[in-house]
Chains A and B, each alone.
Chain A
């Protein structure tokens, strides 16, 4: 059993390292902003995710208990990484005029949220904005 676990940990670390490398390489090499955005998101989700699982298994191997801290890290990461990417993309759309022209129609009455400056309906107490 320990041997199998050790192999699993090794594979996970290697996989994590691979995705992190791919993410970094993509960030450096991809031609424009929107495509570059994909690099770091892969690195944080797949790369860090694999390493976190490896860390949990490693704790099981060493102490005999599954470490739960990593789950918390994963939760924080999975919550923040997409939002960060979203915010970067929004900023990019706002700043880059050429990009705006190339945006596809939204297919709904409202335009792109970043660009349409409009009144925001007040949020009812205790609810999330519709």
Chain B
């Protein structure tokens, strides 16, 4: 698993920097550098084997059924990219330490950076293509955090969102493409897919898979027409830009093209799609870069252009082009990161990145100037620097490419792009560092601390060194990487030399330099001409698209969800009916074999009451109070039915739920308008009645059919195993806390979430507009004594009794009807009585345990009980029980399930008390705004001592 560690160490290490923010910034930087360094060392340890031609692999199963495995592979390409990512990452960490201001939360920055770094390394080391997609999306997410790091700036937020939408959306296409690719190759392991290139290209799935994969790669690598997100991502701090846009994020797309080259390349479709997209991107990016005034925007568009160049090379389908592409990836990473950091230094020292305001900085900061000059020259392709070599190879490959029979189209356009590249590089360097200073700086900018320029210098060293001695220095790496890209197809021999003789490429290069000089002389004329052309505004188009998508989604969901409960229920019930009918009509049927039991008088009477109550409900639904009473009649009859069929547990649960529900509804009714909505017409009533009747008859038929048949159910097992397996004779309770304990655990979590939602919704009801609406409500006449003495006394006397009962029901639950849920409801009712009788403020002031605490404690206790079984090497929620002899109480059974039940108990109490007390609180607020009975209506008697209208004074019912 050493390989997995290379990706996992940065991911896990992301926790470190935020922990050290109390220490100095240097310590935080070290906390980020340490995991990176460690990962780099592990990678280096593997390097000799890879240089020796080995492919290191490691694999673990994850979700084998969908072909997702946790498998990693380190070959030449992976080593090359992982080295770039971690190496430049280290430099960026050092640079960011000095670049970020005192107010920037640096721990968070490094955490995001490490997350991103780990995800990036994961992409390049994944052997499983689905795992690759997982890491791919992780880079989209973490780059969103990085780009939006300065979240106080609107540009930062918008740029981050745009990058996420474009690259994340592309990631979805990539996922689909990878699934198709896996189908075509018959495996999700890269090593196998790459070996089956022929099969993949012959498969009918090749074309859709190729298109989807390319969509993913092109969005990530900012290829035309998706190039627009990259410049907007420049709102990020410069270290982020330097990292994401030189060596990592945008290179992921190029990496993917290289990775899948043996499987997907070699066809005409690949050539046309990839090389032409690359060519177009190269030209468009370079053209825009020439006219940008923001230093980082110039670099951003130049990055777009260079990415286009690499894409084009990979599209050429030749080994020479692959070598050129790999070589340029290396060279671009070095000079572009150096340039971004130089631009950051300029910004840091002069507080502007506008090239129109800069100039002459070379004399003020010679070190930075020299470094930027070298890196810029490399970007332009000046001889003796590494950029020159890969550009020559690119032109060479372009000269050989033919498009639609034409041998010169690609060559000419590539030369034009090279020309533009020379021009914007020259403008970048000369406009910033040479010429006259264009601004009078208040504090003349000076050389930055070494922490800022040293990382640049470290990157400029290879720029020069590779430029001078390409063969010995870069040769082995390029050869190893290119061989890994080309895979089984093999490569022509790699010759990296400075002088090839007078080749077409050299001629094109010279032409590019001459043309660039001419272009810069005429730049103002060209600019004027350009301004007359139509320039599409990508951000406006993107925003319009997003707005249209949002509006469309709103319309769609608005059309589906009208907010009409009858309609929604009607659709649901009709759907169920249709499914049931289809099942019924699609099979043969025989009557059940069981005999029907005779009906007794009590059962018949209960049935009549039930039917009468339901019919009454339908008739009297406008009278809400009556409806509530009739509903509770139904509930009571149902619990009687449970008793009749020997389910005392369910009966108890039903009754306690019934009580709580009735209290809740009574409280809620008070807040509802006193009028019911308008009655629908007869036609709709008939329609709804027909639906309801059909559903009712269907359910009855189904129940009848099920009950007249003998069939094996799981309940036999449950009943048999209840005592020996779960240690309790109450099967229902044993099922709840033991057999199906995981279900119950999930349910109490849901209950807790629901209670939290109630808390969140009603907590705002006492403030702002909602509070004003409550104040405006007239509650009718309000009793003079809100808390009648008799009620107060009775509930307080009942409290200990009811709590004792709850404890009793709880304790006996494992063997007799009862248990945590019922006990919880009873305890909750006992507590709610206090809230209702003595007022919310009185009760809340005396509650030692807040409902929210109870919910949290309940879920925690249940979860910890479940985890306790891990200590004994058993699965989650395995229960145990034992019998203990206590001196006085005698034989006592203790089951671990009881602790779990305690969790259930606490959650139920917390949730119910929270819901009811919140509604009661809202109620009180409305009540206080009501009006007292008029004095005229008072009975004759001695006048009261003083007009005692003081309910707003701090007494009962005071709201804090």
Q: Is the pair A94, B939 in contact by a Cβ cutoff of 8 Å?
A: no
Q: Contacts A86-B790, A95-B781 given: A109-B798 contact, CB under 8 Å?
A: no
Q: Is the pair B956, A120 in contact by a Cβ cutoff of 8 Å?
A: yes
In A62-109, the 8 Å CB interface with B consists of 72, 75-76, 79-80, 82-83, 86-87, 90-91, 94-95, 97, 100-101, 103-109
* Alpha-carbon separation in the docked complex, A14 to B784 (Å): 43
One of B789, B944, B955, B956 near A110 (C-beta < 8 A): B944
- Is B796 on the interface with A (CB-CB < 8 A)? yes
Q: Is the pair A119, B953 in contact by a Cβ cutoff of 8 Å?
A: yes
For the residues of B in contact with A, the DSSP-based class is loop
* Alpha-carbon separation in the docked complex, A110 to B781 (Å): 19
- Is A112 on the interface with B (CB-CB < 8 A)? yes
One of A101, A121, A129 near B792 (C-beta < 8 A): A129
Q: Is the pair A120, B955 in contact by a Cβ cutoff of 8 Å?
A: yes
- Is A118 on the interface with B (CB-CB < 8 A)? yes
- The smallest C-beta distance from A39 to any residue of chain B, in angstroms, reads 18
Q: Is the pair A86, B788 in contact by a Cβ cutoff of 8 Å?
A: yes
Q: Is the pair B797, A117 in contact by a Cβ cutoff of 8 Å?
A: no
One of A79, A104, A123 near B798 (C-beta < 8 A): A79
In the complex, chain B residues whose CB is within 8 Å of the CB of A4: none
Q: Is the pair B939, A100 in contact by a Cβ cutoff of 8 Å?
A: yes
Please tell me which stretch of B354-362, B388-396, B651-659, B930-938 contacts chain A, meaning at least 4 of its Cβ atoms lie within 8 angstroms of it.
Answer: B930-938
Q: Is the pair B939, A90 in contact by a Cβ cutoff of 8 Å?
A: no
In the complex, chain B residues whose CB is within 8 Å of the CB of A123: 842
In the complex, chain B residues whose CB is within 8 Å of the CB of A112: 784, 938-939
Count of A-B residue pairs with CB < 8 Å: 106
- The smallest C-beta distance from B787 to any residue of chain A, in angstroms, reads 7
Q: Contacts A90-B788, A109-B942, A120-B787 given: A97-B948 contact, CB under 8 Å?
A: no
In the complex, chain B residues whose CB is within 8 Å of the CB of A121: 955
One of A72, A83, A107, A119 near B950 (C-beta < 8 A): A119
Q: Is the pair A118, B784 in contact by a Cβ cutoff of 8 Å?
A: yes
Q: Is the pair A118, B796 in contact by a Cβ cutoff of 8 Å?
A: no
In B943-959, the 8 Å CB interface with A consists of 944-945, 948-951, 953-956
- The smallest C-beta distance from B840 to any residue of chain A, in angstroms, reads 14
In the complex, chain B residues whose CB is within 8 Å of the CB of A109: 942, 944-945
Q: Is the pair A117, B948 in contact by a Cβ cutoff of 8 Å?
A: yes
Q: Is the pair A120, B785 in contact by a Cβ cutoff of 8 Å?
A: yes
One of B788, B791, B792, B949 near A118 (C-beta < 8 A): B949
Interface size of A by Cβ–Cβ distance < 8 Å? Answer: 39
Q: Contacts A101-B939, A113-B785, A119-B948 given: A83-B794 contact, CB under 8 Å?
A: yes
In the complex, chain A residues whose CB is within 8 Å of the CB of B953: 119
Q: Is the pair A115, B801 in contact by a Cβ cutoff of 8 Å?
A: no
In the complex, chain B residues whose CB is within 8 Å of the CB of A110: 944
Q: Contacts A90-B788, A94-B781, A128-B796 given: A117-B941 contact, CB under 8 Å?
A: no
- Is B783 on the interface with A (CB-CB < 8 A)? yes
* Alpha-carbon separation in the docked complex, A52 to B563 (Å): 51
Residue of A nearest to B795 (CB): A83
- Is A10 on the interface with B (CB-CB < 8 A)? no
- Is B786 on the interface with A (CB-CB < 8 A)? yes
In the complex, chain B residues whose CB is within 8 Å of the CB of A83: 790-791, 794
Q: Is the pair A87, B789 in contact by a Cβ cutoff of 8 Å?
A: no
Q: Is the pair A118, B944 in contact by a Cβ cutoff of 8 Å?
A: yes
- The smallest C-beta distance from A93 to any residue of chain B, in angstroms, reads 9
- The smallest C-beta distance from B333 to any residue of chain A, in angstroms, reads 73
Q: Is the pair A105, B796 in contact by a Cβ cutoff of 8 Å?
A: no
* Alpha-carbon separation in the docked complex, A40 to B950 (Å): 37
One of B782, B788, B955 near A117 (C-beta < 8 A): B782
Q: Is the pair B939, A117 in contact by a Cβ cutoff of 8 Å?
A: no
Q: Is the pair B945, A79 in contact by a Cβ cutoff of 8 Å?
A: no
- Is B591 on the interface with A (CB-CB < 8 A)? no
Residue of B nearest to A106 (CB): B941
Residue of B nearest to A105 (CB): B941
- Is A1 on the interface with B (CB-CB < 8 A)? no
Q: Is the pair A115, B941 in contact by a Cβ cutoff of 8 Å?
A: no
Q: Is the pair A116, B948 in contact by a Cβ cutoff of 8 Å?
A: yes
- The smallest C-beta distance from B659 to any residue of chain A, in angstroms, reads 12
* Alpha-carbon separation in the docked complex, A82 to B794 (Å): 10
Q: Contacts A76-B801, A109-B945 given: A117-B951 contact, CB under 8 Å?
A: yes
* Alpha-carbon separation in the docked complex, A75 to B842 (Å): 26
- Is B887 on the interface with A (CB-CB < 8 A)? no
With A72-B801, A72-B805 known, 14 other A-B pairs at CB within 8 A are: A79-B794, A83-B790, A83-B791, A94-B933, A101-B937, A105-B940, A109-B942, A109-B944, A110-B944, A115-B938, A117-B951, A119-B948, A119-B953, A129-B787
B contact residues vs A (CB 8 Å cutoff): 781-794, 796-798, 801, 805, 842, 932-933, 937-942, 944-945, 948-951, 953-956
Name 27 interchain pairs, CB-CB below 8 A, sorted by A: A76-B801, A83-B791, A94-B781, A94-B783, A100-B937, A101-B937, A103-B939, A104-B939, A107-B941, A110-B944, A111-B938, A111-B939, A112-B784, A113-B785, A115-B784, A116-B784, A117-B782, A117-B933, A118-B948, A118-B949, A119-B948, A119-B951, A120-B785, A120-B786, A122-B955, A122-B956, A129-B787
A contact residues vs B (CB 8 Å cutoff): 72, 75-76, 79-80, 82-83, 86-87, 90-91, 94-95, 97, 100-101, 103-123, 128-129
